[in-house]
Chain A
Amino acid sequence: MLHQAILPHHTKWAQFFEQLKYVVIDEVHTYRGVFGSHVANLMRRLKRICAFYGSSPQFILCSATIGNPAEHAAALIEAPVHAITDSGAPVGEKHVLLWNPPVVNPDLGLRASARSQSNRIARLAIKAKLKTLVFAPSRTMVEVLTKYLKDVFDHDPRKPARVRAYRGGYLPTERRAVEREMRAGQVDGIVATNALELGVDIGALDVVVLNGYPGTIAATWQRFGRAGRRQRPSLGVLVASSDPLDQYLVRHPEFFRDAPPEHARIAPDQALILLDHIRCAAFELPFVGREAFGPIQPAPYLEVLAESGVVHREGERWEWIADSYPANAVSLRSVADGNFVVVDRTDGRQQIIAEVDYSAAALTLYEGAIHMVQSTPYQVERLDWSGRKAYVTRTQVDYYTDAIDYTRLKVLERFDGDASGLGQAQHGEVHVVRRVAGYKKIRYYTHENIGYGPVNLPDQELHTTALWWQLSQPVLDEAFSSRQDALDGFLGASVALHLVATVQVMADARDLQKAVGSGDGAWFASTDTRGRGTLRAADGSSAGADALAQFQPTVFLYDAYPGGIGLSEPLYQRRTELVTQAQALVSACSCTAGCPACIGPVLATDESRTTTPKQLALRVLRLLDAR
């Protein structure tokens, strides 16, 4: 509204802006990461327009519990704030259950899937006539869970559906219809992604089931808060997945109870986001002289805009001259644009049934992928990459698909570096190439892998910021009997470091990614089906570690957005803490050889190895420990 309607037409709101006294921003804890960075820039634009009309409004920000409310609010509005942190709101009776699925293989730390447990809990709750909401981590998982619940509750097609799915990617009309039904109480079970997290009114619920930890404590409470609105008792169940972060939490319930909530972070000066908003701001008012945009001197960005002909420089002024409305082309939710549309061609139709973000397209719309909408499976027949379209047809299959991808990194520029134990910790700019090499077909219910398919898509490239740790070849030769062991150690260490880093910066796990590679892009490592590290050359073919002239494995943690989103810099500042914590995590873990909660899953055969993957990972972490 503010972004696309009011600011670009501010002259129509002149009186409003002239008299604007207060700006209230609710739920600011959600304005973090990419979205928050956009919102901070939107506030820069708002303040710029207010200044034009001679007003200087006071900002009032409200937030769910976060660790740094004052700092975050100040970052959003770029002005000093006074934090009020005492709450007077009555709290209803609320039960929270942390549910760890039963162990099916104690040696490997393998547990029953969170999916099957969430399904079971939801089924029980719906049968007990409790209105139930299940949050699933991904769109695919929403569809899978919806199918399972529909199989139980909606087998009679003559009756209205009792279970509905809700997620991004549905068309707005469909989402509105689901919301209406939920408010009217016609639906007993809803399966949703975080698309349902905010601002969507769906009425009162009794039970909220989280299939997997949503990534932050704040988001967990936010989702639990969906239940028990009318001061009735409510139940929130967090079903831990095999994801290490989930296992970490469920084994340390005190962390969940006592840990200070997350810090919200934004990076408003991210280059692409800034360019988008300087473009919008130039449309709203010309930039004059050395006028700053927040703390930024916008001249280089304006040069870029002038080069593409949308602004015109005349003396001291940069004026908008293009016949376009830039706010419509800027989405506040993403860095990427260029969404893919999914076109249903069943029986000669030509109907758009869904939209998929550019960043998710390679992972979900490859040819052969099963793409589900309201748990109806469609198979992707053709992907028109440049045209941003995927053509699908209705299909009847008993499996879903999961992409297999490889990541390769190359260091472009080093901003800073420091000794880290016997090795190095560094921070800088990297070039990431991500390739989707193929996909797995996974059968419903049994979750067995029933086949593979190849994928032939352009590599996804990304220039972003990262921090990394490496050990020199002499140190490695001294400490490890073979390169294979060193590699396994690095892969294990990467899991632990990624885990503690994700908790540290309170990032969404997908915003921060990890990788192990050579640092010059010559090779990268992944864990193969036997649980051992495998080297792959730049082209994706397997390579042997011993054949390499130079062997210097490196652990990377990188921001998963073009240009970075400001995660790796604070992580670099806390580099020693991270290594220490990763070490503590691994050594305190109760498993014998390694498990998903510390260094990643290991196989039974590793139990009998003289040195376990866990020991190897610990060895790497100790060598990197600066103490």
Chain B
Amino acid sequence: MSITLDRLQRLRAQAGHAPSPTAPASPDDAPIDLPFLKVLMQRRALRSHLDGIDRSLPGDEIAPGLRLIESTIDWLDAPDVVDTRFDPRATCAIELAPQDVLAFDTETTGLAGGTGTRAFMIGAADWHQHRVRIRQLLITQLSAEAAMLDCFASWLNDATVLVSYNGKSYDAPLLAARYRLSRMKNPLAGRAHLDLLHPSRRRWRGHYENCRLATIEREVLGVVREDDLPGSEAPAAWLDCLRGGGARNLRRVATHNHTDVVSLLRLLRHLSSTTD
């Protein structure tokens, strides 16, 4: 019996495969009207040629499928020194030079975890030459992942201390898996890492409805985000672009990520300066 799409789907139905997504986390896993979808996708691809769907992305392509989006802001001064006593579990020096700090945040294809989840964007912010420098890596094809990981590794030197929000539990393990899968040395392994989630929880638990970064930055730092794309929509935005769709939402993901890493530095400065 040769295997065809039709046949497999028929057998799945006979085996009681429910006509609903097998894993609720995945809108893409839902059984769909495939022929119809194909037509739609062809039309969309056609339209994007004809009408020139807006697929423009910020930044420069520094390797095939890898874009680097670089920007600076000069309204966030570096503190003279970063006082890390706000985090009793920190493994770094009590006082850090601000230029050694690198705040980072990833955007991923989902929350399911495991080796099937990847980062499609890594954003980082640091104080560089008296300004805040924001660098974001974005892959537009899957094969560019190794180049992205390689580039991110090159941003870290022996003195670099990582700063993140929940990164110890989420971003760092995820990147560790990706480095492993690409057979590369994990530059995050053994590195000092200040995860601001836990100090923030200690300080503000019960003050606000939750301790998510967006809440803390609004309540504590007074940051107001406009046209922010909810994090849950980021995977779809990237997949849409990967499959030849428009890039508008993906640009919003980049903006969201940009705000996140800047907020990390602001929050770090706040925590550091209010340590007593």
Contacts and interface: CB of A to CB of B under 8 A. Distances in A.
A463 B141 contact: no
B257 interface: no
B39 interface: no
Interface stretch (A8-16, A160-168, A494-502): A8-16
A171 interface: no
Interface in A252-293: 271-272, 275, 282-285
A301 B3 contact: yes
B16 A336 contact: yes
Q: Which of A301, A314, A324 has the most CB of B within 10 A?
A: A324
Contacts of B50: none
Contacts of B19: 386
Nearest to A9: B114
Contacts of B176: 11
A233 interface: no
A64 B9 CA distance: 37
B29 interface: yes
Given A304-B8, A323-B28, A461 B109 contact: no
Contact of B117 (A282, A323, A413, A460): A323
Contacts of B25: 323-325
Interface string B86-119: 0000000000000000000000011111111110
Interface string B15-48: 1111101110111111110100000000000000
B73 interface: no
Main secondary structure of the interface of A (DSSP, over half): mixed
Given A285-B181, A338-B16, A303 B28 contact: no
Given A272-B12, A310-B26, A321-B239, A284 B116 contact: yes
Interface string A334-375: 011110000000000000000000110000000000000000
B26 to A, nearest CB: 3
A308 B16 contact: no
A271 B8 contact: yes
A329 B113 CA distance: 14
A291 B18 CA distance: 31
Contact of B11 (A11, A272, A310, A413): A272
A12 B27 CA distance: 27
Contacts of B141: 314
Contact of B235 (A285, A323, A328, A563): A323
A207 B113 CA distance: 48
A324 B29 contact: yes
Contacts of A321: 28, 109, 118, 142, 239, 242
Interface string A478-515: 00000000000000000000000000000000000000
B211 to A, nearest CB: 24
A488 to B, nearest CB: 32
B114 A283 contact: yes
A305 to B, nearest CB: 10
B17 A322 contact: no
Q: Which of A282, A308, A386, A562 has the most CB of B within 10 A?
A: A308
Nearest to A300: B3
A326 interface: yes
B115 A271 contact: no
Contacts of A315: 143
B157 interface: no
B224 to A, nearest CB: 29
A462 interface: yes
Nearest to B179: A11
Main secondary structure of the interface of B (DSSP, over half): loop
B91 to A, nearest CB: 21
Q: Which of A283, A284, A325 has the most CB of B within 10 A?
A: A325
Contacts of A322: 26, 28-29, 109-110, 112, 116
Interface string A380-409: 000000101000000000000000000000
Q: Which of A14, A283, A322 has the most CB of B within 10 A?
A: A322
Interface residues of A, number: 54
Q: Which of B10, B14, B173, B239 has the most CB of A within 10 A?
A: B14
B142 A314 contact: yes
B23 A320 contact: no
Nearest to B26: A324
Nearest to A296: B3
B76 to A, nearest CB: 33
A335 B8 CA distance: 12
Interface string B118-146: 10000000000000000000000111000
A451 interface: no
A325 B176 CA distance: 19
A283 B28 CA distance: 14
A561 B143 CA distance: 40
B201 interface: no
Given A320-B116, A323-B117, A338-B16, A309 B23 contact: no
A312 interface: yes
Contact of A337 (B8, B16, B34, B111): B16
Given A310-B29, A429-B1, A11 B177 contact: yes
Contacts of B242: 312, 321
Interface in B218-260: 235, 239, 242-243
A337 B15 contact: yes
Contacts of B173: 12
Contacts of A323: 25-28, 109-112, 117, 235
B105 to A, nearest CB: 18
A14 B235 contact: no
B115 A563 contact: no
A223 to B, nearest CB: 29
B169 interface: no
A232 interface: no
A143 interface: no
Contacts of B143: 314-315, 317
A481 B14 CA distance: 41
Contacts of A336: 15-16
A80 to B, nearest CB: 28
Contact of B15 (A14, A309, A358, A465): A358
Contacts of A606: none
Nearest to B32: A308
B205 interface: no
A226 to B, nearest CB: 32
B247 to A, nearest CB: 17
B274 interface: no
Nearest to B21: A324
Contacts of B116: 8, 282-284, 320, 322, 324-326
B180 A324 contact: no
Contacts of A460: 14
B7 interface: yes
B154 interface: no
B29 A307 contact: no
A309 to B, nearest CB: 4
A62 B181 CA distance: 33
A461 B113 contact: no
Nearest to B12: A272
Contacts of B1: 271, 413, 429, 465, 563
A326 B23 contact: yes
Top-8 shortest CB links A-B? A323-B110, A358-B16, A324-B26, A324-B23, A283-B116, A338-B16, A309-B28, A11-B177
Interface of A: 8-12, 14, 271-272, 275, 282-285, 300-301, 303-304, 307-310, 312, 314-315, 317, 319-329, 335-338, 358-359, 386, 388, 413, 429, 460-463, 465, 561-563
14 contacts: A10-B115, A12-B177, A282-B116, A304-B9, A315-B143, A321-B239, A321-B242, A323-B110, A329-B22, A337-B15, A358-B16, A463-B7, A463-B14, A562-B12
Given A323-B25, A462-B14, 8 more contacts: A10-B115, A272-B8, A282-B116, A308-B28, A321-B28, A322-B29, A337-B16, A465-B1
